[in-house]
Amino acid sequence: MAKKRISLTQYLIEQQRQHGRIPAQLRLLIEVVARACKRISIGVNKGALGDVLGSAETENVQGEMQKKLDIIANEVLIEANEWGGHLAAMASEEMEGIYVVPNRFPQGEYLLLFDPLDGSSNIDVNVSIGTIFSVLKKTGNDEGVSESDFLQPGLQQAVAGYCVYGPQTMLVLTVGNGVAMFTLDREEGSWVLTHDGVQIPADTREFAINMSNLRHWAPPVRRYIDECLAGRDGPRGKDFNMRWIASMVADVHRILTRGGVFMYPWDRREPQKAGKLRLMYEANPMSFIVEQAGGAATNGRQRILELQPTTLHERVSVMLGSKNEVQRLSAYHAEAD
Ligand code: AHM
Ligand code: MG
């Protein structure tokens, strides 16, 4: 007899029945985001045949050149989400201000944030990329919605997830009750639950960091990596392996699958910036997922999920993954202070 398959819809309905975590509006939201990711995945797969590669010759609010796919993915997510009545507003890496649901549509109580296409530098080289998203609930009952409604610590997230467009397209999700992974069945067009209760091993011999920035790091990060590199003869007494895909989604996906630690720390290149990655739609959702899988996430000094955001696009230093390694990094920062 064929193995029983659990679809995303069934998973969400069962989560609601067993834990009361997914009211209908939230389920709609997750399903709509998942559908949008399916569309983005089709574009990603077509590549040059779909004329989606290359630069759009425009700059986003972060001063980064946008790729065609950055813009396409952003539009797909907005178009899919604006009419359902589940959202009050959206925010994206590719848009300076928030996108309030137009008043021709009903307004819901959720706020959706996303990095529509993460790992942009990998688009044109056929390496895994992804979409990251985070869901908050609008607090307060004042009319309308503004940027300040979004500025909630990551602990307030109702849902976080990402979709990785790799050899398989997978959706990884937490609704605050562990981490589940769904694989896209292209023939059927459905998301099928393929891993549940994902757990990151507490120890690891693998780290992910852009080593070309070594000379710019702060001493605690330098110390941590130096000790890993010293291998069996060094203070760690074991050899380490390194991986760096330069798509956070793909690096985090590997860590969820077999452990490891991912770092994009502050560095001296642009000292006024806290880091490269963005708190609200990259670090927060990934930290929520990693913690739900038994891992940890810090900026070196504070748990990322407890940080109070002050602006939509603020950046943060990120260290996440296997718990004992993240604790060690925090300890090295505390000692340096
Ligand atoms: P993006 O959102 O513009 O793609 O930038 C974020 C990406 C992360 O996915 C990845 O970890 C990092 O930037 C790679 O940076 P670098 O090219 O410095 O290695
Ligand atoms: Mg990104």
**pLDDT tens digits along 255-280:** 999 999 999 999 999 999 999 999 99
Q: 162, 209, 210: which to mutate for ligand 1, most atoms within 8 A of CB?
A: 210
pLDDT digits (tens, 9 = 90+) for 223-256: 999 999 999 999 999 999 999 999 999 999 999 9
The Cα 111–Cα 130 span in angstroms is 20
The answer to whether 68 touches 53, Cβ cutoff 8 Å, is yes
Q: Which residues line ligand 1 (CB under 6 A)?
A: 64, 93, 115, 118-121, 210, 246-248, 264, 276
- The rounded distance, in Å, linking the Cα atoms of 187 and 331 is 49
Question: How many Å apart are CA 137 and CA 332, to the nearest integer?
Answer: 35
Q: Cα(212)–Cα(221) distance, rounded to whole angstroms? A: 13
52 CA to middle of ligand 1, Å?
Answer: 19
Residues of the chain with CATH 3.30.540.10: 8-196
Query: What is the pLDDT confidence band of residue 1, given thresholds at 50, 70 and 90?
Result: low
For residue 280, the ligand closest to its alpha carbon is 2
Query: For residue 124, how far is its CA from the centre of ligand 1 (angstroms)?
Result: 14
- Whether pLDDT at 190 is above 70: yes
Of the pLDDT bands very low, low, confident and very high (cuts 50, 70, 90), residue 86 is very high
Nearest to 255 by CA among 209, 317, 306: 209
Instruction: Tell me how far the alpha carbon of residue 94 is from its chain's centroid.
Output: 15
Amino acid identity for residue 13 in this structure: I
- Nearest atom in ligand 1 to the alpha carbon of residue 262 is 11
Range 8-196 classified under CATH 3.30.540.10: yes
Between 62 and 203, residue with greater pLDDT: 203
Delimiting residues of CATH 3.40.190.80 domain(s) in the chain: 206-336
Do the beta carbons of residue 247 and residue 129 sit within 8 Å?
yes
Amino acid letter for position 123:
I
Q: Which of 113, 262, 264 to mutate to test the pocket of ligand 1 (most atoms within 8 A of CB)?
A: 264
In CATH terms, is domain 206-336 a member of 3.40.190.80?
yes
Please state, in angstroms and rounded to a whole number, the distance separating the CA atoms of residues 278 and 91. Answer: 12
